[in-house]
Structure 1
Amino acid sequence: MIKVAFAGVNPADWKIRAGHLDVAPFGLELPLTVGLDAAGTVVATGEKVTKVKKGDRVVSGTNLFSNAKPGSYAQYLVVNEQRVAIVPDHISLESAATIPTAGITAWQALFASDKGGLSKGQGTKILINGASGGVGSFAVQLAKWAGAEVAATCSSANLEYVKSLGADLLIDYKTQNIRDELIKWSSNGIDLIVDVISADSLEDPVGLLRKGGKLVSVATLTDDGDVETSIAEAKERGVTKVLAFMNDLNFGEEIQQLIDIVKVGNLKLPPTEAYDLDNVVQAHEKLETGRVRGKLVLRVK
């Protein structure tokens, strides 16, 4: 059992609350407690638990979708020990709460064999579309950690922030033509696109790829377009499109990998904006705008 200090705020949270996301396929029934990410302190353990002990500072992803358990917008959370990682002393619990959903989504989009399939040291040219949010912040840095060259889109207000993440090419989507900038950067096309925004956020993304390239579109669950048709059209044009859902089959290993990369200084956790749990409405309203740098978190008292 974890006494929650901070809960991460993710798009799925407000989409469930607003009725835009059908929870029935996940075995969930309304009303329910939403929330996918939590950071806090272990206050009790089962007799067979060996990975953590009472008093440990930990971060966890909840069982909301996989096991239909209550979410992290709560004072206490019960999770399986395989879904928990110990937070190093130099990482605040507020920062740790940014890791599970955003970090693992980025990790899988880039490296999972059924998604980006990126290997370290390849010198791959990658476009991260939507680089200033939670998933994008992780994706830019992880791609650089793997040895890729990274182009990143964001607004002018976030150019300096995304530059600080290590992006090689910055594209202000409001004032620059994304296609023109990418052609100047890589005339033969991009190897991999990770699109963390929506189905129609890029004009003809398949046309930006080289033959054999990949488009990984992170699932929004509400705005993914005609997925089957777009995948088929991509195949006809000699590239691969994947609609990426985060899965938790290797949750424990992946979150530990992310923490290890943070520990050696190759990954900076996204900046946070914290709201008291009582102000969750305001946090959701901010996230709904789609104009968030880094991650929003809830402070649980």
Structure 2
Amino acid sequence: MITAGQLKAGETVLILGASGGVGGTAIQLAKNVGATVIAVASASSADHMKELGADFTIDYQAGPVAEAVKKVAPAGVDLLFDAVSGDTLTQSLAALKPEGRLISVLNDGKSLNLPASVRFQHVMAQPSVPDLDHLRELADAGQLKVPVSATFALADTKKAFEQIETKHTTGKVVIVP
């Protein structure tokens, strides 16, 4: 998100799916560079997102996300980071500034009707040694936490995947031997 989205201090980022493992990490990385973070997930995850560093939280079930964003960022957001896709992404596009940037880990952008001025990038995890070193340094300094939503024994792998498929986790689902 930081590299592909070119997020800088003083910018505002809207993070969709902010309560999950990817979204929660995105909150922390954005705060680390000095961005204002608007985090979107269910109302029950608001405290979790605030603990990770979100400046504002929005319940995606309470109404149009873009309208709620405009209340806290009237000019719109510089970067929209999508870790959920679907209707929430489609409804959030109006929150982008005219020259905004959209990064998605799920959507390839083919079905999105984006203005030509919006820069879109579909990203896949491609960690480099320097990126992993940076994450380790942040974790060692206590600036990056990896919340665990649930832990399952290897024999319960099916249950672990069922939990992930609910898309209602607050952190990572871990499978242990």
**TM-score, normalising length: structure 2:** 0.92
Q: Would you say the 8 A contact 2:160–2:173 is kept in 1? A: yes
Q: Would you say the 8 A contact 1:235–1:241 is kept in 2? A: no
Q: What is aligned with 2:5? A: 116
User: Which one of the candidate residues 83, 108, 114 is aligned to 1:234?
Assistant: 114
User: Which one of the candidate residues 243, 247, 255 is aligned to 2:122?
Assistant: 243
Inter-CA distance 205–156: structure 2 relative to 1 (3 Å threshold)? closer
Q: What is aligned with 1:213? A: 100
Q: What is aligned with 2:152? A: 275
Aligned residue pairs, count: 177
**TM-score, normalising length: structure 1:** 0.55
Q: What is aligned with 1:265? A: 142
Residue type of the alignment partner of 1:285: E
Give identity over the alignment, percent: 32
Helix, strand or coil at the partner of 2:159: helix
Q: Would you say the 8 A contact 1:218–1:243 is kept in 2? A: yes
Task: Establish whether residue 184 from structure 1 lines up as the match of residue 71 from structure 2.
Answer: yes
State the alpha-carbon separation in 2 of the partners of residues 127 and 172 from structure 1.
Answer: 13
Q: What is aligned with 1:198? A: 85
Task: Give the deviation of 1:255 after TM superposition.
Answer: 1.6
State the alpha-carbon separation in 2 of the partners of residues 203 and 151 from structure 1.
Answer: 17
Q: What is aligned with 1:166? A: 53
Q: What is aligned with 2:18? A: 131
- Runs of 5+ in structure 1 lacking a partner? 1-109
Residue type of the alignment partner of 2:126: N
Matches within 5 A, 1:1-301: 110-112=1-3, 115-119=4-8, 122-219=9-106, 224=107, 227-228=109-110, 230=112, 233-236=113-116, 238-248=117-127, 250=128, 252-300=129-177
Helix, strand or coil at the partner of 2:103: strand
Residue type of the alignment partner of 1:234: L
Task: Give the deviation of 1:229 after TM superposition.
Answer: 5.5
Inter-CA distance 184–152: structure 2 relative to 1 (3 Å threshold)? same
Helix, strand or coil at the partner of 1:262: helix
State the alpha-carbon separation in 2 of the partners of residues 203 and 270 from structure 1.
Answer: 28
Helix, strand or coil at the partner of 1:269: coil
Larger helix proportion, structure 1 or 2?
Answer: 2
Partner deviation per Cα, 1:74-117 (whole Å, 9 max, x = no partner):
xxxxxxxxxxxxxxxxxxxxxxxxxxxxxxxxxxxx222xx201
